[in-house]
Amino acid sequence: MGDILNNLFRSEAEELQLLNRLSYVMIFMGIVTFVSLLFENVPYGRYSNTKYSFPINAKLAWFLQELPAFVVPLLIVVGMSGAKLSQLPNRLLLLMFFCHYAQRSLIYPFLIRGGKATPFTSFALAFVFCTINGYMQARYLSHYAEYPADWVVNSQFISGSMLWLVGFLINLHSDHILRNLRKPGETGYKVPVGGLFEYVSSANFFGEIIEWTGFALAGHSVQSAAFAFFTLVVLTSRAGAHHRWYLEKFEDYPKSRKAVIPFIY
């Protein structure tokens, strides 16, 4: 991994420039995605459309597409000299990223119950995103990110880390509730109840948005902010679509429930 990057860049300044540019591209892609999602839902899960590309089993797709966000950072941290790896804020932020993607790639896929097959194009886009984002976050944090010596006791780092943890737990709990709506072998949909589903239709997305917003607050970088922005845009659009879908499908769907942000949207 180190050799590959050494051959790709003439200097550290050049790599840092790429890491910054990738962040701006991610923000731009977030805006493009937001506009395109006004016209069409991301075609996986309940909107799965395999007319234009072949389907991949849901468990396999989630495992393979999310794996690069765990393996690429692992290769970077273990196989390369990271100038900032000994710094506590950098370590803690990397730990947050690893925690999420260890769960998302190594545990979540194997717990899915009756998930719809993922079309190859959605799978491929997610795979590329996870590869680039894994490189962007891990390389920046392990080699370039510089924080003041007392950053871990700074109120911005503390509140961001707390938000990350709360969001992570909400996401885990909400995905657990969704999973248990189905008995083994079932593939249909039911009205989610309990936890933050009492307030919003997509409590799992609310957790994920809170999580990466906290990470961005604690990380204080364009790299972490770009990822939080992309997550916010993609999941807010998907949550809006889920909410309209529930209201159409279930006559008795709770009318006070919002789409993704309690009491607001």
Ligand X SMILES: NC(=O)c1ccc[n+]([C@@H]2O[C@H](COP(=O)([O-])OP(=O)(O)OC[C@H]3O[C@@H](n4cnc5c(N)ncnc54)[C@H](OP(=O)(O)O)[C@@H]3O)[C@@H](O)[C@H]2O)c1
Interface residues with ligand X (CB under 6 A)?
A: 45-46, 58, 112, 114-116, 171, 175, 178, 181-182, 189-190, 192, 204-205, 208, 231, 234-235, 238
Alpha helices in 37-154 (DSSP H): 58-66, 68-79, 88-102, 108-111, 120-139
Minimum CB distance to ligand X smaller for 87 or for 201: 201
Query: Looking at beta carbons only, is 5 or 165 nearer to ligand X?
Result: 165
Minimum CB–partner distance for residue 262 and ligand X (Å): 16
Report the alpha-carbon distance of residue 70 to residue 139 in Å, rounded: 13
Do 105 and 63 touch, CB atoms closer than 8 A? Answer: yes
Query: What is the C-alpha separation between 178 and 97, in angstroms, rounded?
Result: 23
Residues in contact with 164: Cβ distance below 8 Å, sequence separation at least 6, in sequence order: 96, 210, 211, 212, 214, 215, 218
CB of 83 to ligand X, least distance (A): 28
What type of residue is 209? I
- Minimum CB separation of residue 155 from ligand X in Å reads 26
Shortest CB 90 distance to ligand X, Å: 22
Q: Between 82 and 192, whose beta carbon lies closer to ligand X? A: 192
CB 237 to ligand X: min, Å: 10
Confirm if 202 and 158 have CB atoms less than 8 A apart: no
User: Is the Cβ of residue 80 or residue 117 nearer to ligand X in the bound state?
Assistant: 117
Tokens of 119: 């079309």
- Closest separation in Å from C-beta 74 to ligand X: 19
Nearer to ligand X, 152 or 165 (CB): 165
3-state secondary structure 154-198: CHHHHHHHHHHHHHHHHHHHHHHHHHCCCCCCCCCCCCCCCHHHH
Q: Give the separation between CA 120 and CA 118, rounded to whole angstroms.
A: 6
Q: Least distance (Å) from ligand X to the CB of residue 66?
A: 8
Nearer to ligand X, 143 or 238 (CB): 238
Q: Which is nearer to ligand X, 15 or 175 (CB)?
A: 175
